[in-house]
């Protein structure tokens, strides 16, 4: 984080100051001798606090949080059987019937949270075996389902792993055709529309410019993504484009790389009115038995323990290597 702060200070960019605010706090404590022998460092810690003034988001970074000893389960085992292994006989059928390709198949969601709520179930049972081809064909199937639904708001979520909220370990997308934009997304667009009126400028473009200068953003074809400066939890990435159809290759590439850096994660994407907005966020190690979210995250501000630049370098390097390997993009 120290390196990032130096870049920000050297940047001296009014656009950064328009969107973000930051400060560094020093937390001091005294270790008993026995603890000092075990840990040696940590009596003085730096806390990096970033605020997104446009979206009213706040995140506190302290890399010492990643060094804490947390409770773990030994022998973490994934469920070896679930109904998604035999979807044609053990899952319901939605209003379209089944859509299927060599990599995935659709099903209705047994416990719906909206009228048009279905699934894209991968044919591979183990999520760690998924690769670019699986993601690409799964997203193609989801897009085909969206095109045949009555409502224009398209939502896809991917809870990768039980710790990320998946009720069934077998990998699957959840897909929704909604009549109205969810309230939280409405609030986001309300704020960026206010930004447009105030500054006569596009928030996402300005956001991308600033984070590109901090080596936290990149564009692949028409899709832009950024490692968020005020993440909800660790390793949050925001990406956007005009629509899902134009973004399937790029999102598949990002997913293929992200799963190598995260044991459990959430993806959320929404498309409406020729705008696509998506998020990825890490949810921690499978063996940890404590939740990654506590009272502060729920009611006050986010607390994370990773280095933004270190993650950005790792992710972008892997992305570029994978891009060359698949030879699918520029």
* Domains contained in the chain, CATH given: 2-67 (no CATH), 83-178 (3.30.428.10)
The predicted structure's pLDDT at residue 67: 66
CA dihedral 174, 177, 181, 182 (to 10 degrees): -30
H or E stretch covering 108: strand 104-108
Euclidean distance between CA atoms 144 and 142, whole angstroms? 5
What's the mean per-residue pLDDT of the chain? Answer: 89
The predicted structure's pLDDT at residue 329: 47
H or E stretch covering 282: strand 275-282
What's the longest Cα–Cα distance across the chain?
68
In terms of DSSP H, where are the helices of the chain?
Answer: 2-11, 14-19, 33-39, 87-90, 132-147, 183-199, 203-213, 248-261, 295-299, 308-326
DSSP 8-state code for residue 54: T
CA 325 to chain centre: 23
The pair of structure tokens assigned to 253 is 């590439």
Q: Which residues of the chain have pLDDT under 70?
A: 29, 32, 35, 65-81, 326-330
* CB neighbour class for 20 (10 Å; exposed up to 12, middle 13-18, buried from 19): buried
The predicted structure's pLDDT at residue 330: 42
Count of Cβ atoms closer than 10 Å to residue 325 Cβ: 11
At residue 322, φ and ψ (nearest 5 deg) are -65, -40
The pair of structure tokens assigned to 249 is 């290759």
Tell me the angle at which helices 308-326 and 2-11 cross, rounded to the nearest 10 degrees: 90
Can you tell me which residue has the tokens 């020093």? 26
Euclidean distance between CA atoms 229 and 207, whole angstroms? 10
The pair of structure tokens assigned to 96 is 């379209």
DSSP, collapsed to helix, strand or coil, labels residue 120 as strand
Nearest to 242 by CA among 120, 119, 154: 154
Query: How many helices (H) does the chain have, and how many strands (E)?
Result: 10, 13
Can you tell me which residue has the tokens 């939740």? 291
């Amino acid at each position: 984080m120290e390196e990032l702060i130096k870049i920000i200070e050297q940047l001296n960019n009014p656009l950064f100051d328009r969107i973000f605010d930051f400060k560094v706090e020093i937390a001091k404590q005294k270790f008993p001798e026995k603890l000092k022998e075990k840990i040696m460092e940590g009596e003085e810690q730096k806390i990096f606090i970033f605020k997104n003034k446009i979206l009213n988001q706040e995140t506190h970074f302290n890399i010492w949080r990643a060094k804490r000893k947390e409770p773990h389960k030994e022998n973490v085992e994934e469920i070896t059987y679930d109904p998604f292994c035999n979807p044609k006989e053990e899952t319901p059928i939605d209003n379209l019937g089944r859509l299927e390709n060599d990599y995935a198949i659709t099903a209705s969601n047994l416990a719906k949270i909206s009228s048009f709520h279905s699934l894209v179930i991968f044919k591979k049972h183990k999520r760690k075996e998924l690769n670019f081809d699986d993601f690409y064909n799964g997203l193609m199937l989801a897009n085909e389902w969206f095109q045949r639904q009555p409502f224009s708001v398209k939502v896809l979520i991917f809870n990768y792993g039980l710790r990320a909220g998946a009720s069934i370990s077998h990998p699957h997308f959840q897909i929704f055709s909604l009549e109205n934009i969810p309230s939280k997304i409405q609030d986001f667009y309300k704020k960026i529309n206010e930004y447009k009126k105030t500054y006569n400028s596009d928030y996402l473009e300005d956001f991308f410019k600033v984070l590109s200068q901090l080596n936290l953003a990149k564009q692949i074809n028409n899709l832009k993504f950024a490692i968020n400066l005020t993440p909800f939890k660790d390793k949050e990435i925001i990406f956007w484009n005009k629509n899902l159809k134009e973004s399937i290759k790029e999102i598949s590439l990002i997913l293929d790389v992200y799963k190598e850096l995260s044991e459990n994660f959430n993806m959320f994407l929404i498309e409406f009115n020729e705008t696509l907005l998506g998020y990825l966020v890490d949810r921690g190690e499978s063996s940890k038995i404590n939740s990654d979210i506590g009272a502060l995250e729920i009611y006050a501000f986010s607390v994370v323990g990773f280095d933004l630049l270190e993650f950005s370098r790792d992710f972008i390097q892997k992305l570029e290597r994978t891009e060359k390997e698949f030879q699918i993009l520029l």
